[in-house]
Amino acid sequence: MSLFGLKFGKKKLKEEERQLQANNRDFNLQFEYANNSIKTSKYNFFTFLPLNLFEQFQRIANAYFLFLLILQLIPQISSLAWFTTVVPLVLVLAVSGVKDAIDDFNRHKSDKHVNNRPVQVLINGMLKEQKWMNVQVGDIIKLENNNFVTADLLLLSSSEPHSLTYIETAELDGETNLKVKQALTVTAELGEDLQKLTEFNGEIRCEAPNNKLDKFTGTLTLRGEKYALDNEKMLLRGCTIRNTEWCFGLVIYAGPDTKLMQNSGKTTFKRTSIDRLMNVLVLVIFAFLALMCLILAIGNGIWEHDKGYYFQVYLPWAEGVNSASYSGFLMFWSYVIILNTVVPISLYVSVEIIRLGNSFYIDWDRKMYYPANDTPAQARTTTLNEELGQIKYIFSDKTGTLTQNIMCFNKCSINGKSYGDVYDMSGQRIEINENTQKVDFSYNPLADPKFAFYDRSLVEAVKLNDVPTHRFFRLLSLCHTVMPEEKKEGNLVYQAQSPDEGALVTAARNFGFVFRARTPETITVVEMGETKVYKLLAILDFNNVRKRMSVIVRSPEGDLTLYCKGADTILYELLHPSCNSLKEETTEHLNEFAGEGLRTLVVAYKSLEEDYFQGWIRRHHEASTALEGREDKLSELYEEIEKDLMLLGATAIEDKLQDGVPQTIETLAKANIKIWVLTGDKQETAMNIGYSCNLLNDDMEEVFIVEGSTSDDVLNELRNARKKMKPDSFLDSDEINIKFEKSSKKQIIIPDEQANGVYGLVITGHSLAYALEGNLELELVRTACMCKVVICCRVTPLQKAQVVELVKKYKKAVTLAIGDGANDVSMIKTAHIGVGISGQEGMQAVLSSDFSFAQFRYLQRLLLVHGRWSYIRMCKFLKYFFYKNFAFTLVHFWYGFFSGFSAQTVYDEWFITLYNLVYTSLPVLGMSLFDQDVDDRWSMLFPQLYVPGQQNLYFNKVVFVKCMLQGIYSSLILFFIPYGAMYNTMRSDGKAIADYQSFALMAQTCLLIVVSVQIGLDTSYWTVVNQFFIWGSLSVYFAITFTMYSDGMYLIFTASFPFIGTARNTLSQPNVWLAIFLSIALCVLPVVGFRFLKAQLKPTPSDKVLLKIKEAKKRPPPPSPKRRLRRTSTRRSGYAFSHQHGFGALIMSGRNMRPKSPFATTGTFSPNSDKYKHKGL
């Protein structure tokens, strides 16, 4: 949330109670409640410059360079011109400032988009269109079908009977099934009468803003009467109105106070692990710099005392200097200025440019572009690229992220015969793809055109009037709680409580059994073109214990039948003994379906005797009106009648995964990345998807289910799981147990523990609440991190963030969270990297994310290609940058011992200014933007290459020390070889060459050529750009050198360019070039030798993979066949897992029924009418 939002949120959380009046802005304004505007931006036009500069100078390096600039303005200690620091500092601040301005401008745009959405607000008796941001607490607003809910509202009235309103809560809990909300009767009477709504002056007292999505308590006081308010009467921001023409609501919470925004978590400033490491290293370098300056200052004090004191006639002390010790003190600060280039300011400019460039690669990657909805990948944050190459844990949402949230009727088994597969002429099964011909349902004018089925034999069975097949589809068209909507004749839309039910009813519709309409007492079905009205006598409702539902209907012919569908484990216990042989055949089919990751469901029926049923329905009425034990009595009656069922068959529904999800998960697992699924869905649904996308499989030793209802239960379940996975973890000698005993309040990092097999863990939201408490969180993180896969179900948005925070707290690992809905925002903000999927659930997740794209499968390319490349490039850049600057700067240190510690620079001042900005900036940028050890195809084929990034092997403190030592060694060579070559040297014409300026030119030429050769050694992937930058930089150096040291420049700027003629005098001598060649050989050969021997004698796993790739490149592999992932899994019921208990009773009561559809009456519309006779069956 924004700084503004956070501030406001904290203020409002101190409220104990909220009080407001409808239609009374003056009354409500006194409480200073937040309005409905959302603010995620940081700056405005006036605050940008001061705030941004304040933020930038909080970086140690920027503050340090400002301090240096101040030192350079003091004449007594200034050893370099002021422009050597001002130019780079201004450049750095400008580059960072522009980038921050662009980021904040984008935040302003997204805020403006949301805040300017239109909504109808009731003002002075009229509906006026207002912007979302102008809506205030106490306003009454009108919402229409498919509108987003503007704020947290109390539902007042709606177009539906009894003021019911259907909503979709996908952005809150990830579920797309419809939920029902109902207004109070006293407000339902207001209807859409604007006069009555304007006069409504109810006073609300309710709880203060909080993040509990499933809880609301309050009271409405109207005309002296008090009415209780609960969550069933609330419409929360983030929901979408469905299947409801209009509704009116009273704003209770707005903007940052809404439950959605309270759950969205706080925005944290994300920094990469390399950033944090660089801060530590910069402090180490500062200490090293201070040590060098101290040594040189002490040296100056001693030299001035022993020698300089007696040479004051020739070398007078500066004005104000009256002792050797004071001279040493001034020299300390002079050397701080000279040696500051060990931490060059251009380091930070280059880092920003590299990150920006690698971000553009993500934006431009066509292989991450999704043409279906014209969505490219987008790097929304440009400072986290290299962190993508170090991910160890991925936290993923389920609905809309792993799945498309579309259910498809895929296969079925009827009377022992399996349908759904397609066979060729030789009887071989054909794999279904986009080219497979679909069944033609054009004979059925009421068929859903979007429904796809490929097995023609099932259509033939229906057309041949096969009795079991007809009975099977009749059951699917009658046994459900779906609501039909037919606004145009023949244009049927089903509103289903669970997507599974919608898929089954749609299947029946296409095969000729069209569910057309329902009333509380009847169900209208068009069977094979003939309209039939069944009397609905009872709905035996679904719940999580029964795992089945039944309906009892009377056919037009007077037959009484019970139709039942449910989980196979439950229904098999209720079957008549005569079904045993059919049960065996059906079981085989169920195992096949489950093996393909489909959600299975068994269907059965029973013919009822009239006398028995009349007695049963009387007892049912008594039980349903009982004041005590109602649920138990009804359950007993349901058990009694649902016996001796006749098996019809089974259905198999595919919860369609997004394309490539199983393959992506398999590839990421090979890269040693652990995947946790955090979903608001129910346990069975989450486990189903776990099996479907190969996260869970039957080859696992065990999948632990933690569902304890007390703290002790959860602790025991977690400990039992850990005991099975690693019994040794309970011994006192265990490394982690010892660490626990030693550590008191100090934060401990838990190392990775290896289990004795492959395990999975499933934990429910209720149990997770206990597990996240202080005394259990260590147990949870130890047990969960031993498992290959963790699935947390029924979790709230805040719990998602808490799980991510837990892993960040106890594991030294980089985390990534990926989701597509508003319920994922908090975990996206909490993780090191947040990825938003621009899917069906709005754009909330994308707006809060660091990276976004359209499909989960692009994640493997983001990590294994872009992330790995970015990490390797950044590590190479830092190694090279620190090396070249140590080599450059330490030459001054050695020179101090030969110049009386006088803070005399070795190089020309212009060379010092241009070294990092011009001469060495482009070659290292070229490597950091274009280098790749292997191309994208090999990166995806060998995910093991990703592992070194997780272990942070390419740049760490040890690697830094190696760079430092290499830099010190090179600086020794670069000082002493030119010094020795120049010492008492004569030119070929007999003139002396051993002057300071010639030595300076030779040393800087050696340095530049050595660092250019070094970058050539570090480059793995040569491009024209790399070649141009390296050769171009050397050419520019010689061009600038010859120009600056020319007679003309000296005549124009005498004081600024004193090195007149040095270049042509020195660089024309052969011995100078021989010395340069010797310097290069001594600097580079040890590096080449070390790298060669290391690769031969002690290769890393990465070296071994790269060797395999080199061998594979010699003989290009054949294109990999498109293989279907084999799934082995136990049967899993897919029935109504997101079904809302009690919906059957709502249907039977008639409270949710509209007036009867004019198209649903008997005989009014039939495929057998004259209009359709030529298309008859």
Q: Provide the total of helices (H) and of strands (E) in the chain, helices listed first.
A: 42, 35
- Residue 656, classed as helix, strand or coil, is strand
* Exposed/middle/buried for residue 996 (C-beta within 10 Å: 0-12, 13-18, 19+): middle
Q: Tens digit of pLDDT for each residue in 445-497? A: 888 888 889 888 999 999 899 999 999 999 999 999 888 877 677 678 887 77
Query: Which helix (H) or strand (E) element contains residue 235?
Result: strand 234-235
| pLDDT surpassing 50 at residue 1158 | no
Residue 729: count other Cβ atoms within 10 Å of its Cβ.
Answer: 18
Predicted local distance difference test score (pLDDT) of residue 335 = 87
Q: Strand 140-144 to strand 118-123: parallel, antiparallel, or no bridges (unpaired)?
A: antiparallel
| pLDDT surpassing 70 at residue 81 | no
* Residues 555 and 607 sit within 8 Å (Cβ to Cβ): no
Predicted local distance difference test score (pLDDT) of residue 745 = 52
* Exposed/middle/buried for residue 823 (C-beta within 10 Å: 0-12, 13-18, 19+): buried
| pLDDT surpassing 70 at residue 94 | yes
Q: Tens digit of pLDDT for each residue in 1043-1083? A: 877 766 656 666 555 666 666 677 777 888 888 899 999 99
The owner of tokens 């099977």 is: 472
Q: Rounded distance, CA 699 to CA 856, Å?
A: 25
Q: Rounded distance, CA 13 to CA 209, Å?
A: 6
- At residue 390, what are phi and psi to the nearest 5 degrees? -130, 15
Name the amino acid, one letter, at 11. Answer: K
Predicted local distance difference test score (pLDDT) of residue 591 = 84
Predicted local distance difference test score (pLDDT) of residue 288 = 92
Instruction: For residue 342, name the pLDDT band (cuts at 50, 70, 90).
Output: confident
Which of 208-212, 950-954, 1004-1008 has the weakest average pLDDT?
Answer: 208-212
Distances 472 to 499, 512, 565, 1109 between C-alpha atoms, Å: 19, 12, 11, 56
Q: Rounded distance, CA 403 to CA 1137, Å?
A: 15
- At residue 772, what are phi and psi to the nearest 5 degrees? -85, 0
Query: Which residues, 6 or more positions from 320, have their beta carbon under 8 angstroms from its beta carbon?
Result: 76
Predicted local distance difference test score (pLDDT) of residue 533 = 94
Instruction: For residue 909, name the pLDDT band (cuts at 50, 70, 90).
Output: confident
- At residue 1138, what are phi and psi to the nearest 5 degrees? -105, 20
Which of 291-295, 704-708, 813-817, 900-904 has the weakest average pLDDT?
Answer: 900-904
| pLDDT surpassing 90 at residue 40 | no
Instruction: For residue 53, name the pLDDT band (cuts at 50, 70, 90).
Output: confident
Q: Rounded distance, CA 673 to CA 867, Å?
A: 13
Which of 127-131, 603-607, 933-937, 1013-1017 has the weakest average pLDDT?
Answer: 933-937
| pLDDT surpassing 90 at residue 329 | no
pLDDT, mean over the chain:
83
From the list 723, 767, 567, the residue with the least C-alpha distance to 653 is: 567
Query: Which residues, 6 or more positions from 689, have their beta carbon under 8 angstroms from its beta carbon?
Result: 398, 402, 403, 655, 657, 677, 695
Query: Which helix (H) or strand (E) element contains residue 312?
Result: none
Residue 972 CA, chain-centre distance (Å), reads 49
Instruction: For residue 1151, name the pLDDT band (cuts at 50, 70, 90).
Output: low
Query: Which residues, 6 or more positions from 832, have their beta carbon under 8 angstroms from its beta carbon?
Result: 270, 272, 384, 387, 808, 814, 815, 816
Instruction: For residue 647, name the pLDDT band (cuts at 50, 70, 90).
Output: very high
Q: Which one from 397, 820, 908, 931 is the annotated catalytic residue? A: 397
Predicted local distance difference test score (pLDDT) of residue 1167 = 38
Q: Tens digit of pLDDT for each residue in 580-623? A: 899 999 999 988 887 777 888 899 999 999 999 999 999 988 88
Which of 228-237, 589-598, 1021-1030 has the weakest average pLDDT?
Answer: 589-598
Q: Rounded distance, CA 45 to CA 1049, Å?
A: 44
From the list 365, 387, 385, 391, the residue with the least C-alpha distance to 376 is: 365
Give the pLDDT mean for 694-706: 87
- At residue 749, what are phi and psi to the nearest 5 degrees? -105, 125
Query: Which helix (H) or strand (E) element contains residue 104?
Result: helix 83-115
Q: Rounded distance, CA 509 to CA 1176, Å?
A: 16
| pLDDT surpassing 70 at residue 1136 | no
- At residue 563, what are phi and psi to the nearest 5 degrees? -110, 135
Instruction: For residue 336, name the pLDDT band (cuts at 50, 70, 90).
Output: confident
Percent of the chain's residues with pLDDT above 70: 86
Predicted local distance difference test score (pLDDT) of residue 1042 = 83
Residues in the chain: 1177
Predicted local distance difference test score (pLDDT) of residue 843 = 65
- 3-class secondary structure per residue, 622-651: HHHCCCCCHHHHHHHHHHHHCCCEEEEEEE
Predicted local distance difference test score (pLDDT) of residue 917 = 78
Where helices occur in 179-314 by DSSP H, the ranges are 185-188, 194-199, 259-262, 273-306
Give the pLDDT mean for 393-412: 85
Angle between the 868-896 and 346-364 helix axes, to the nearest 10 degrees?
170
Predicted local distance difference test score (pLDDT) of residue 1176 = 38
- 3-class secondary structure per residue, 387-405: HHHHEEEEEECCCCCCEEE
Predicted local distance difference test score (pLDDT) of residue 586 = 93
Give the pLDDT mean for 1111-1120: 65
Give the pLDDT mean for 1107-1129: 61
Name the amino acid, one letter, at 823. Answer: N
Predicted local distance difference test score (pLDDT) of residue 56 = 79
- Return the top range by mean pLDDT from 167-181, 307-321, 332-346, 879-893: 879-893
Task: Indicate if the alpha-carbon torsion angle 482, 487, 490, 491 is positive or negative.
Answer: negative
Q: Tens digit of pLDDT for each residue in 722-756? A: 999 988 877 766 667 766 666 555 567 888 888 88
Q: Rounded distance, CA 373 to CA 876, Å?
A: 38
Instruction: For residue 1132, name the pLDDT band (cuts at 50, 70, 90).
Output: low
Q: Rounded distance, CA 661 to CA 400, Å?
A: 12
Residue 397 bears catalytic tag: yes
Name the amino acid, one letter, at 200. Answer: F
Instruction: For residue 1162, name the pLDDT band (cuts at 50, 70, 90).
Output: very low
Predicted local distance difference test score (pLDDT) of residue 914 = 84
Distances 1166 to 14, 464, 527, 528 between C-alpha atoms, Å: 63, 19, 9, 9
Name the amino acid, one letter, at 764. Answer: T
Q: Tens digit of pLDDT for each residue in 129-176? A: 999 999 999 999 999 988 999 999 999 999 988 788 888 887 676 666
DSSP, residue by residue, 762-826? EEEHHHHHHHTSTTTHHHHHHHHHHSSEEEEES--HHHHHHHHHHHHHHSS-EEEEEESSGGGHH
* Exposed/middle/buried for residue 131 (C-beta within 10 Å: 0-12, 13-18, 19+): middle
Q: Tens digit of pLDDT for each residue in 671-686? A: 999 999 998 777 777 8
